[in-house]
C-alpha cells in the first residue's frame, strides 16, 4: 500500500546499482546485537563485496578506516568471531597482502545459542556483564536463564559441550592453544 504523503525530499531510487544489502536475518536473528558496534566490520565487508561473487579483498587498514575500529588486534578478534559464526570465510593473504573475505549465505550461519554466544563473547573479549545487558530475541527464555547462571554452574553442567566447542575452535584456527587457558 502506497502512502499519499508528499515529501519535500526526493526518495531514494529502488534499483540503484551502487547499493549493498544486508540479509534481514543479520538483525532479526540477533547477530547485529551480538556484534554490537563491531557489526560495522561486517557492513564494511558487505559494502566492498563484489555483488555477483560476494567476496572482497581488503587490507586491515581499509577495514579499520571504513568500520571505525582503531586497533588491529580488535579487528582480528572481530574477524575471528565472524568466522566462528560462519558469517564470513577468510582466505589469508599473508604478510602485507590483503585477505579475501567471502560473504556466506545466511543458511550457513551458526544458530545463536548460549554456547555460540558465550564462545563469540570470549573471542571478542566482551564481559558477561555487557552480554547480560543485551537482548537476543531468538533465544528461548530457558536458554537465556541458563546463560545467566554463575560460571561455576555452567562449568559443571556443560564441560563436555565446552570442550567440544574449544576443540572445534582450535581446529578452525579461531582459537590457539595459548588462548585455551582463558576459557573455562
Residue range 13-47, pLDDT digits in tens: 777 777 788 999 999 999 999 999 999 999 999 99
The mean pLDDT of the chain is 77
Query: Quick check: is 17 in a domain?
Result: no
Quote the pLDDT of residue 177: 56
For the chain, the domain total comes to 1
CATH number of the domain where residue 115 is located: 1.10.10
Query: Quick check: is 82 in a domain?
Result: yes
Burial of residue 71 (CB within 10 Å: 0-12, 13-18, 19+) is exposed
Map grid coordinates 581488503 to a residue: 58
Tell me what the mean pLDDT of segment 125-129 comes to: 54
d(CA 88, CA 42): 9
Query: Quick check: is 85 in a domain?
Result: yes
Query: Quick check: is 12 in a domain?
Result: no
Beta-sheet strand order (sheet of 55-58)? 55-58, 99-103, 88-91
Expressed as residue numbers, the domain containing 72 is 24-182
Query: Quick check: is 7 in a domain?
Result: no
% of the chain exceeding 70 in pLDDT = 66
Residue 58 has pLDDT above 50, yes or no: yes
Q: Where are the beta strands (DSSP E) in 2-129?
A: 55-58, 88-91, 99-103
- Range of weakest confidence among 75-79, 131-135, 166-170, 175-179: 131-135
Quote the pLDDT of residue 99: 92
Query: Quick check: is 166 in a domain?
Result: yes
d(CA 38, CA 6): 37
**Using one digit for the tens of pLDDT, what is the confidence trace for 148-184?**
444 555 555 556 666 767 677 677 666 555 544 554 5
**Using one digit for the tens of pLDDT, what is the confidence trace for 80-118?**
999 999 999 999 988 878 899 999 999 999 988 877 888
Query: Quick check: is 14 in a domain?
Result: no
- Contacts (Cβ under 8 Å, ≥6 apart) of 85: 31, 34, 109, 110, 116, 120
Query: Quick check: is 91 in a domain?
Result: yes
Amino acid at each position: 500500500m502506497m502512502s499519499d504523503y508528499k515529501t519535500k525530499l526526493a526518495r531514494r531510487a529502488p534499483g540503484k546499482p551502487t547499493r549493498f544489502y544486508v540479509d534481514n536475518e543479520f538483525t532479526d536473528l540477533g547477530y547485529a546485537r551480538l556484534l554490537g558496534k563491531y557489526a560495522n566490520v561486517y557492513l564494511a565487508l558487505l559494502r566492498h563485496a563484489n555483488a555477483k561473487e560476494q567476496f572482497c579483498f581488503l587490507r586491515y587498514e581499509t577495514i579499520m578506516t571504513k568500520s571505525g575500529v582503531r586497533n588491529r588486534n580488535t579487528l582480528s578478534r572481530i574477524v575471528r568471531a565472524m568466522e566462528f559464526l560462519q558469517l564470513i570465510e577468510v582466505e589469508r593473504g599473508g604478510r602485507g597482502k590483503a585477505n579475501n573475505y567471502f560473504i556466506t549465505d545466511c543458511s550457513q550461519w551458526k544458530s545463536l545459542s548460549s554456547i555460540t554466544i558465550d564462545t563469540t563473547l570470549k573471542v571478542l573479549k566482551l564481559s558477561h556483564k555487557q552480554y547480560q545487558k543485551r537482548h537476543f530475541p531468538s533465544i528461548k527464555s530457558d536458554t537465556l536463564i541458563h546463560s545467566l547462571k554463575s560460571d561455576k554452574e555452567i562449568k559443571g553442567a556443560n564441560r563436555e559441550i565446552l570442550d567440544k566447542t574449544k576443540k572445534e575452535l582450535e581446529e578452525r584456527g579461531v582459537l590457539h592453544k595459548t588462548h585455551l587457558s582463558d576459557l573455562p
